C-alpha cells in the first residue's frame, strides 16, 4: 500500500523546508493509539420497533472510526503520502460558450519540466461516462466550450510553484459564441416526463377555487468541508489505482475504464476517508479521477489532484435551480381536487444526472397529498453554466418547496389553517400516487404531522403570531421585528427511482475466513453518515455475534463487489438489507452443518472447512414494480415521511431572518441507530435552513461570482436554530430490518417550513429561495396570491 509513511522521514516529498529536529511522535506509526473505551455497554444494534429512541441511544454502539477522527489519525486523501508524487492542475475555460481554437505553449518556459495533457492524449473515449455520455473529459481543439470553468487541458509538475508557472504559460485561444442562461429560453432538453392521472381540466372546471403560483429555487453548493481530492498511481499492469474522496467507487471505476481504455482489473478505485459528500461526490469525482489518472499515466508517477476551495466551487456540480408552476383546484373545505404542475430544471451545460434528478422531482412534485386528478410536466434543459448534479434530496427539495408553499398559500386563501389543510389531504394507507402506486403500508404522513404540530405547540404559536400581525396593523411602525411559525410536510422515496434498483442489481458479500474472521464486503462508502458502524452492526446482529467480531472491508474496487452507489438514502435500507440477508444465509449454512449456534461454532467450522463466502444480489421487493415505458407503477418501494415546524423572527427594517428553532419529525421505518439517525436529521435540517435563508450562488456571464467561502455563506453554530428531532417508526415490511432511508428526508421540509414561518410573521410570501433580506423586503410590498377563477 502506498499510504504508509516511512518512519522518521518528512511527510511529503513536496516539502521545501527541512526539519532540524522533530518532536518525539505522540502517535506511533501502525496501529492507532490505545483508546480508553467508554464505560457504556455496546448493546444490540437492532431492537424492537417502538422502544423509545432516547433509551436506545445509550445502548447504541459508538461510531466505529470515531477514535481515528478524534485524534487526527484518520487519513483523508490530502493526508496520504505518495513518495515522488507530482501535483496536477486543470486549465479551465473563462468563457461560458466558445469555440476552442488553440492551446499554445509559451516559448519562455521549459516544457520538459512538466507534463501537459490535452484531449488528443486521451487513450480511451473522451467522455465522462454517465447517463448520456455527452460530457468530454477535456474539450478538444476545435470543439465547443459549453460552460465557464470547463476543463481544457491538464498539467502536472514536480512542485506547486512550477505547476503555477506552467499553467500561466499555456495560452488558450477561443472564439466566443452566444450563451444561453435562461432555462425557459433553452431549446436543448436533456430529459422530460409527463404524468397524467384522472381528468385535470374537468376537475379544475368544477373546483371552488383555482389558484396558481410560480416558485423558483436557485443553485445550492454542497459545501463538504473537504474539497475534491484524488491521487492516481500508475500500475504495473498498465492500469491505474486512484485513491480519493468519493461516494460511488464503481461510478469512478466505470468512468476510468471508458476514458483510459482500461479493463476491469486495470482500473482500481480506493476510497480515502471522505470529508462529506451530500451528493457533491456522487458523479463529480469521476472527472477528478480521470484527470489525475491521465496525468499519472503521462508522467509515469503518482499525481495528486487536490482542489482548492475556489476551484471546487467554481467547477463542481450544484443543486439544480428550478422553476415550478402550480395550478391547483380545491374544494371550499380545502380538499385538493386537481393539480397541474410544470417543472423546469436547469441542468447546466451537460446531462450528468439530470434525467434522474428530474424524475425524482417529477414524482414528488405534488407533495404528499391525495389527488385524483394530476398532471405533471417536467423538463431539464441545457444552459451555459457549470453542470448541476446530485445534492441531498436530488430534485425533491426543489419541488417540495413549491408544493408546500403553494399549499400554504391555498390555506391562506381559504382561511383554513396549514395544519387542517394537511389533515384533509395528506396520504393515508391505501391511497394512490400520481404514478398509480398504491401506498399499501408504511405511510406516516399524519403521524409525523401531528407529532410536529404538538411538539412545536404550532396552534398556540400561530395564534400569537396572528395577534402580533394585528397589533402591528393597528400600530404601523410600532414593532421592529416579527415572530412567526411555519409548517411543512414532505415525503421522500427511499432508494433508487423506478426500476433503478433492479437495474443496479447490487451485490454484497460476507466471508467467513478459515482463520475465523467475519468480513463484510460492500461498495458502500462512509462519509460521516455511519456506514462503517451500521453495516457491521447489522451483520453482527443477524449472526448473533459481538460487533467487534465483524470487520467491514475497506472500499477498494479490486476487493469489494458493486453494491451500488452511496446515494438516494439507500445504504441502510438496500445495502443494509442485503447484508442482513447474506448474514442470515451464512448463519444458516454454519448452523446447518454444525448443529450448534453460529456464535459457538463458526470458528471450528471455519478452521475445518476453509473460507466460506456468501454473495447476495438484490431482488425486487415483493409486489413492487415500475414500468419505465409508461412511467407508471411503484416509483419507490417505500416512502419516508417528514414534517418540520420552524420558528423564526424577521427584522422588519432589514429583512434579516433569525431561525430560532426547527422541530423535525421523521419517519424512517425503523431506527437502526438513534444517534446516527438524529445526526442525519439535524444536519439535513440545517442544510435546508441554509437553502431557505442564506445560501445563494450568484452568476455573472455564466460564472459563479461568489466561489469562495468568504462569499458563499453557510450557517455557523450561531446561525443554526435549536434543532429538536423526533424519530417515528412505521416499518417497511419489504426490508428485513424495516428501515427506510433517512439521509435526504429532512432536506425536503426545512426550507418550506422556514418560508411559511416568514409569511406567518410578516404576512408576505417569498416565492424564491433563498429568502434573502432583499427578497423579504420586496415580498412585504407584493400583492397576495391571485385567484383566477
Partner 1 sequence: MTAYRLLINGDPVELDVPGMRRLLDVLREDLALSGTKEGCGEGECGACSVLVDGAVVDSCLVPVCQVDGHAILTVEGLAERLPDGATALSALQEAFWTAGAAQCGICTPGMLVAARAYLDHGGGPDDMSIREAIAGNLCRCTGYTKIVEAIAIAATPQSGGGT
Query: Does residue number 23 form part of the binding site for partner 1 (CB under 8 A)?
Result: yes
Is residue 480 a contact point for partner 1 (CB under 8 A)?
no
Contact flag: residue 143 with partner 1 (CB under 8 A): no
Q: Interface mask (CB under 8 A) for partner 1, residues 718-757, using x and -?
A: x-x-xx-x--------------------------------
Strand 86-92 with 481-493, pairing: unpaired
Distance CA 173, CA 170 (A): 10
Q: How many CB atoms lie within 10 A of CB 733?
A: 14
Give whichever of 185 and 717 is closer to partner 1, judged by the CB atom.
717
Between 672 and 759, CB nearer to partner 1? 672
**Phi, psi dihedrals of residue 405, rounded to the nearest 5°:** -65, -40
Kindly identify the residues of this chain, within the stretch 491-530, that bind partner 1 according to CB under 8 A.
Answer: 527-530
Q: Does 679 bind partner 1 (CB under 8 A)?
A: yes
Q: Are 658 and 458 in contact (CB under 8 A)?
A: no
Establish if 5 lies at the interface with partner 1 (CB under 8 A).
Answer: yes
108: left (phi over 0), alpha (psi -120 to 50) or beta: alpha
Contact pick of 19, 189, 205, 705 for partner 1 (by CB under 8 A): 19
Neighbouring residues of 705: CB distance < 8 A, sequence distance ≥ 6: 698, 699, 711
By CB under 8 A, tell whether 563 contacts partner 1: no
All cell numbers assigned to 215: 416558485
Q: Is 12 in the site for partner 1 (CB under 8 A)?
A: yes
Give the range of 4-12, 184-192, 230-238, 442-450 binding partner 1 by CB under 8 A: 4-12
Of 35-43, 177-185, 396-404, 443-451, the segment contacting partner 1 by CB under 8 A is 35-43
Restricting to residues 307-346, name those near partner 1 by CB under 8 A: 308-309
Site string for partner 1, 659-678 (x = CB under 8 A): ----------------xx-x
Q: How far apart are CA 547 and CA 474, in angstroms?
A: 64
- What secondary structure letter does DSSP report for 140? P
Q: Which residue has the cell 468541508?
A: 225
First to last CA, the chain: 70
d(CA 670, CA 340): 34
Q: Is 685 in the site for partner 1 (CB under 8 A)?
A: yes
Binding mask 218-247 for partner 1 (x = CB under 8 A): ----xxxxxx--------------------
List phi, psi (to 5°) of 239. Answer: -95, -160
Q: For residues 185 and 383, give the distance between their C-alpha atoms in angstroms, rounded to a whole number.
A: 9
Residue 19 Cβ, how far from partner 1 at the closest point, in Å? 5
What minimum distance in Å lies between the beta carbon of 737 and partner 1? Answer: 20
| Binders of partner 1 in range 160-219 (CB under 8 A) | none
Does residue 710 interact with partner 1 by CB under 8 A? yes
Minimal distance in Å, beta carbon 31 to partner 1? 11
Cβ of residue 394: shortest distance to partner 1, in angstroms?
Answer: 17
- Residue 67 CA, distance from chain mean position: 26
Q: Which of 134, 212, 682, 701 binds partner 1 (CB under 8 A)?
A: 682
Is 212 exposed, middle or buried (CB count within 10 Å of its CB: 0-12, 13-18, 19+)? middle
**Which residue lies nearer to partner 1 by CB, 97 or 281?**
281
Binding mask 49-78 for partner 1 (x = CB under 8 A): -------------xx-xxxxxxxxxxxx-x
Size of the chain, expressed as the number of residues it contains: 789
Q: According to CB under 8 A, which one of 716, 774, 781, 783 is a site residue for partner 1?
A: 716
Among 3, 11, 654, 789, binds partner 1 (CB under 8 A): 11
- Name residues contacting partner 1, limited to 367-406 (CB under 8 A): none
| Residue with smaller CB distance to partner 1, 15 or 51 | 15
Provide the 10 A C-beta neighbour count for residue 72: 10
Shortest Å distance, C-beta 519 to partner 1: 23
Q: Which three cell numbers stand for residue 80?
A: 496520504
- Closer to partner 1 by CB, 226 or 748: give it: 226
Tell me how far, at minimum, the Cβ of 60 lies from partner 1, in Å.
Answer: 9
Nearest CB to partner 1, comparing residues 29 and 264: 29
Q: Where are the alpha helices (DSSP H) in 595-637?
A: 598-609
Rank residues 490 and 498 by Cβ distance to partner 1 and give the closer one: 490
Query: Please, which of residues 270-309 interact with partner 1 by CB under 8 A?
Result: 273-278, 308-309
Which residue's C-alpha cell is 438489507?
Answer: 577
Long-range contacts of 785-789 (CB under 8 A, 24+ apart): 785/211, 785/213, 785/409, 785/410, 785/412, 785/413, 786/211, 786/212, 787/209, 787/210, 787/211, 787/413, 788/210, 788/211, 788/212, 788/327, 789/204, 789/207, 789/209, 789/210
Amino acid at each position: 500500500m502506498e499510504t504508509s509513511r516511512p518512519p522518521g522521514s518528512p511527510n511529503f516529498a513536496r516539502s521545501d523546508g527541512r526539519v532540524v529536529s522533530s518532536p518525539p511522535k505522540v502517535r506511533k506509526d501502525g496501529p492507532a493509539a490505545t483508546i480508553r473505551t467508554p464505560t457504556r455497554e455496546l448493546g444490540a444494534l437492532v431492537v424492537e420497533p417502538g422502544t423509545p429512541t432516547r433509551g436506545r441511544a445509550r445502548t447504541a454502539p459508538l461510531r466505529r472510526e470515531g477514535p481515528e477522527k478524534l485524534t487526527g489519525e484518520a487519513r483523508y486523501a490530502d493526508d496520504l503520502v505518495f513518495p515522488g508524487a507530482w501535483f496536477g492542475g486543470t486549465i479551465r475555460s473563462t468563457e461560458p460558450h466558445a469555440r476552442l481554437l488553440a492551446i499554445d505553449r509559451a516559448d519562455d518556459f521549459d516544457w520538459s519540466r512538466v507534463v501537459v495533457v490535452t484531449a488528443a492524449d486521451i487513450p480511451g473515449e473522451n467522455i465522462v461516462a454517465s447517463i448520456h455520455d455527452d460530457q468530454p473529459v477535456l474539450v478538444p481543439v476545435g470543439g465547443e466550450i459549453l460552460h465557464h470553468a470547463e476543463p481544457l487541458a491538464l498539467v502536472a509538475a514536480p512542485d506547486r510553484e512550477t505547476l503555477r508557472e506552467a499553467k500561466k504559460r499555456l495560452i488558450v485561444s477561443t472564439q466566443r459564441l452566444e450563451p444561453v442562461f435562461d432555462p425557459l429560453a433553452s431549446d436543448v432538453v436533456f430529459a422530460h416526463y409527463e404524468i397524467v392521472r384522472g381528468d385535470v381540466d374537468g376537475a379544475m372546471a368544477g373546483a371552488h377555487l383555482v389558484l396558481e403560483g410560480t416558485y423558483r429555487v436557485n443553485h445550492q453548493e454542497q459545501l463538504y468541508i473537504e474539497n475534491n481530492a484524488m491521487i492516481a498511481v500508475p500500475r504495473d499492469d498498465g492500469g491505474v489505482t486512484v485513491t480519493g474522496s468519493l461516494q460511488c467507487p464503481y461510478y469512478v471505476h466505470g468512468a476510468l475504464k471508458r476514458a483510459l481504455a482500461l479493463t476491469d482489473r486495470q482500473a482500481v478505485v480506493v476510497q480515502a476517508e471522505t470529508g462529506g459528500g451530500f451528493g457533491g461526490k456522487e458523479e463529480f469525482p469521476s472527472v477528478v479521477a480521470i484527470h489525475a489518472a491521465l496525468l499519472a499515466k503521462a508522467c509515469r508517477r503518482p499525481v495528486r489532484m487536490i482542489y482548492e476551495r475556489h476551484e471546487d466551487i467554481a467547477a463542481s456540480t450544484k443543486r439544480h435551480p428550478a422553476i415550478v408552476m402550480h395550478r391547483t383546484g380545491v374544494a371550499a373545505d380545502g380538499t385538493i381536487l386537481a393539480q397541474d404542475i410544470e417543472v423546469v430544471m436547469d441542468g447546466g451545460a451537460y446531462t450528468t444526472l439530470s434525467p434522474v434528478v428530474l424524475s425524482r422531482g417529477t414524482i414528488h412534485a405534488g407533495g404528499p397529498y391525495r389527488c385524483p386528478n394530476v398532471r405533471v410536466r417536467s423538463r431539464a434543459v441545457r444552459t451555459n453554466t457549470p453542470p448541476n448534479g446530485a445534492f441531498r434530496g436530488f430534485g425533491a427539495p426543489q419541488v417540495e418547496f413549491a408544493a408546500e408553499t403553494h399549499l400554504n398559500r391555498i390555506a391562506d386563501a381559504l382561511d383554513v389553517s396549514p395544519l387542517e389543510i394537511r389533515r384533509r389531504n395528506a396520504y393515508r394507507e391505501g391511497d394512490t400516487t400520481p404514478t398509480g402506486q398504491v401506498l399499501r403500508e408504511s405511510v406516516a404522513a399524519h403521524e409525523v404531522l401531528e407529532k410536529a404540530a404538538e411538539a412545536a405547540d404550532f396552534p398556540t404559536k400561530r395564534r400569537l403570531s396572528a395577534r402580533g400581525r394585528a397589533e402591528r396593523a393597528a400600530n404601523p411602525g410600532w414593532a421592529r421585528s416579527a415572530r412567526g411559525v411555519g409548517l411543512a410536510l414532505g415525503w421522500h422515496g427511499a432508494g433508487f427511482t423506478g426500476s433503478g434498483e433492479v437495474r443496479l442489481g447490487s451485490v454484497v458479500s460476507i466471508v467467513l475466513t478459515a482463520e475465523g474472521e467475519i468480513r463484510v464486503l460492500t461498495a458502500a462508502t462512509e462519509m460521516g453518515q455511519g456506514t462503517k458502524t451500521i453495516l457491521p452492526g447489522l451483520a453482527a446482529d443477524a449472526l448473533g455475534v459481538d460487533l467487534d467480531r465483524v470487520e467491514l472491508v475497506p472500499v477498494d474496487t479490486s476487493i469489494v463487489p458493486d453494491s451500488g452507489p452511496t446515494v438516494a438514502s439507500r445504504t441502510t435500507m438496500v445495502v443494509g438489507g442485503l447484508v442482513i440477508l447474506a448474514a442470515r444465509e451464512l448463519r444458516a449454512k454454519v448452523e446447518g452443518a454444525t448443529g450448534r449456534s453460529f456464535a459457538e461454532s463458526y470458528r471450528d467450522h471455519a478452521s475445518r472447512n476453509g473460507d466460506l463466502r456468501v454473495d447476495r444480489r438484490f431482488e425486487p421487493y415483493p409486489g413492487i414494480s415500475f414500468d419505465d415505458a409508461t412511467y407508471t407503477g411503484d416509483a419507490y418501494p417505500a416512502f419516508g415521511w417528514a414534517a418540520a415546524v420552524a420558528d423564526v423572527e424577521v427584522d422588519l427594517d432589514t429583512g434579516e431572518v433569525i431561525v430560532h428553532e426547527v422541530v423535525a419529525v421523521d419517519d424512517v421505518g425503523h431506527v437502526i441507530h438513534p444517534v446516527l439517525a438524529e445526526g442525519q436529521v439535524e444536519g439535513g435540517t440545517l442544510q435546508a435552513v441554509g437553502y431557505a435563508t442564506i445560501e445563494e450562488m450568484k452568476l455573472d456571464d455564466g460564472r459563479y461570482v461568489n466561489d469562495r467561502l468568504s462569499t458563499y455563506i453557510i450557517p455557523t453554530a450561531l446561525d443554526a436554530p435549536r434543532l429538536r428531532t423526533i424519530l417515528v417508526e412505521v416499518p417497511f415490511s419489504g426490508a428485513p430490518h424495516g428501515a427506510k432511508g433517512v439521509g435526504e428526508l429532512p432536506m425536503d421540509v426545512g426550507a418550506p417550513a422556514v418560508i411559511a414561518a416568514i409569511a406567518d410573521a410578516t404576512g408576505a410570501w417569498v416565492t424564491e429561495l433563498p429568502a434573502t433580506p432583499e427578497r423579504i423586503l420586496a415580498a412585504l410590498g407584493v400583492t397576495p396570491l391571485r385567484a383566477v377563477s
